């Protein structure tokens, strides 16, 4: 893929003094698939998302957050209101074992969102969002320029890792990074390589090192074992409901929902929309909020166009 798709933003104001250690939890939403086996674009079709995103949540006290989420789930599991509900049956391996926004009932999601909202600034979320239709167009152009070239979905995953961790976010002496496992593959080596690229990008852009890849302790886990991965899942689901258009189950109207994102907005440090606006994308923050009116027009189409390089 062309490197400029994931170029860094201009330097941001320096954060506060480094903390000793930062606890980060990372997951993805959507899928990195662009084409079917015939090379036809299937992004934004049934069963294939238009957007692929990767987010990280910084948690000040992971133990406390995990305890609160476990206590809430146990309370709901024991409540007579949910007796007989399919997602609460242990054999279904859904809400009975862990919170997962896609599988949880609306009543459950409300309780989880309410808990996350109450945690305030003790959790902070960053995400990078890629528009797969824009990526597919770039990939098709590269096929023409390089006959025999083939897109690898892992390259998009790794590029988002690199983009997410190249930015000037809070500094620390050490970073404990827990990444949600993808399928059955072991991506530890690939993640380390992507972080090495991110560290080089950071040092080139800002003129100093965060300690290199040795400052990062990477673990691969799952949301049942590492409860704070359920937190990043909920944040990503809120962002995904904003971006992905769906059909209203009653009216059939094409809709996007912003209420979940609006609820969590005070805890969202940034959304880097890689393919919206200028060449380097658009950086949404508390100072520049992300709204449906700015991002999409009334018909649901994308607002704004990429500016060509001069």
Smallest CA-to-CA distance from 73 within 43, 103, 47, 44 is with 103
The residue that leads in pLDDT, 157 or 6, is 157
pLDDT range class, residue 4, cuts 50, 70, 90: very low
Q: Which residues contact 122 (CB under 8 A, 6 or more apart)?
A: 59, 60, 61, 65
What average pLDDT score do residues 90-97 get? 94
pLDDT at 70: 98
Listed in sequence order, the DSSP H helices in 146-212 are 153-165, 188-206
Residue 141, pLDDT score: 94
The most confident of the ranges 36-40, 121-125, 161-165 is 121-125
User: pTM of the prediction?
Assistant: 0.89
pLDDT tops 80 at residue 18: no
d(CA 297, CA 301): 5
Position 192 confidence tier, pLDDT thresholds 50, 70, 90: confident
Res 187 pLDDT > 50: yes
How many whole angstroms separate alpha carbon 130 and alpha carbon 289?
A: 18
d(CA 183, CA 16): 37
3-state secondary structure of 302: strand
CA distances from 290 to 113, 271, 273, 287 (A): 19, 8, 10, 10
Separation of alpha carbons 239 and 271, rounded Å:
9
pLDDT digits (tens, 9 = 90+) for 48-67: 999 999 999 999 999 999 99
Residue among 224, 198, 297, 204 nearest 256 (CA): 297
C-beta separation of 3 from 197 below 8 A = no
The pLDDT assigned to 7 comes to 44
Alpha helices, H only, 19-176: 62-77, 106-118, 132-145, 153-165
pLDDT score of 117 more than 70 = yes
pLDDT value at position 54? 96
Please state, rounded to an integer, the average pLDDT across all residues of the chain.
89
Dihedral sign computed on CA atoms, order 230, 232, 234, 240: negative
Q: Tell me, what's the pLDDT at 308?
A: 42
- Which range among 86-100, 118-132, 179-193, 196-210 shows the weakest confidence by mean pLDDT? 179-193
Residue 33 pLDDT class (50, 70, 90 cuts)? very high
Residue 10 has pLDDT above 60, yes or no: no
Q: How confident is the model at residue 72 (pLDDT cuts 50, 70, 90)?
A: very high
Q: What's the mean pLDDT in 252-256?
A: 92
Residue 185's pLDDT band (cuts 50, 70, 90): low
pLDDT value, residue 301: 61
Task: Catalogue the long-range contacts made by 70-73 (C-beta closer than 8 Å, 24 or more residues apart).
Answer: 70/227, 72/111, 72/112, 72/115, 73/98, 73/99
Residue 62's nearest CA partner among 272, 223, 239 is 223
Q: What is the pLDDT of residue 64?
A: 98
What integer pLDDT is reported at residue 182 of this predicted model? 79
Residues 6+ apart with CB under 8 A from 236: 27, 28, 29, 53, 55, 101, 127
């Amino acid at each position: 893929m062309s490197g400029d798709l994931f170029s860094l933003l201009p330097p941001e104001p320096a954060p506060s003094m480094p903390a000793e250690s930062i606890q980060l939890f990372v997951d993805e939403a959507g899928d990195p698939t662009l084409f079917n086996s015939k090379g036809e674009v299937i992004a934004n079709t049934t069963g294939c998302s238009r957007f692929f995103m990767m987010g990280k949540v910084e948690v000040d006290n992971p133990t406390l957050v995990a305890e609160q989420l476990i206590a809430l789930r146990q309370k709901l599991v024991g409540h007579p209101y949910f007796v007989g509900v399919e997602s609460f049956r242990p054999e279904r391996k859904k809400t009975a074992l862990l919170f997962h926004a896609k599988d949880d009932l609306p009543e459950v999601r409300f309780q989880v969102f309410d808990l996350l909202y109450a945690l305030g600034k003790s959790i902070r979320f960053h995400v990078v969002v890629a528009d797969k239709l824009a990526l597919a167009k770039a990939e098709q152009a590269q096929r023409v320029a390089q006959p025999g070239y083939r897109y690898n979905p892992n390259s998009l995953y790794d590029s988002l890792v690199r983009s997410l961790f190249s930015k000037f976010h809070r500094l620390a002496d050490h970073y404990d990074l827990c990444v949600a496992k993808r399928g059955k593959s072991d991506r530890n080596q690939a993640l380390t390589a992507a972080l090495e690229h991110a560290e080089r990008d950071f040092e080139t852009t800002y003129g100093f090192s965060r300690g290199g890849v040795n400052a990062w302790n990477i673990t691969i886990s799952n949301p049942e074992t590492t409860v704070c991965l359920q937190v990043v899942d909920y944040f990503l689901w809120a962002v995904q409901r904003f971006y992905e258009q769906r059909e209203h189950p009653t009216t059939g109207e094409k809709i996007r929902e912003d209420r979940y994102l609006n609820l969590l907005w005070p805890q969202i440090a940034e959304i880097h929309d890689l393919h919206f606006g200028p060449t380097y994308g658009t950086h949404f923050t508390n100072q520049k909020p992300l709204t449906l009116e700015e991002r999409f027009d009334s018909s649901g189409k994308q607002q704004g166009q990429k500016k060509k390089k001069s």
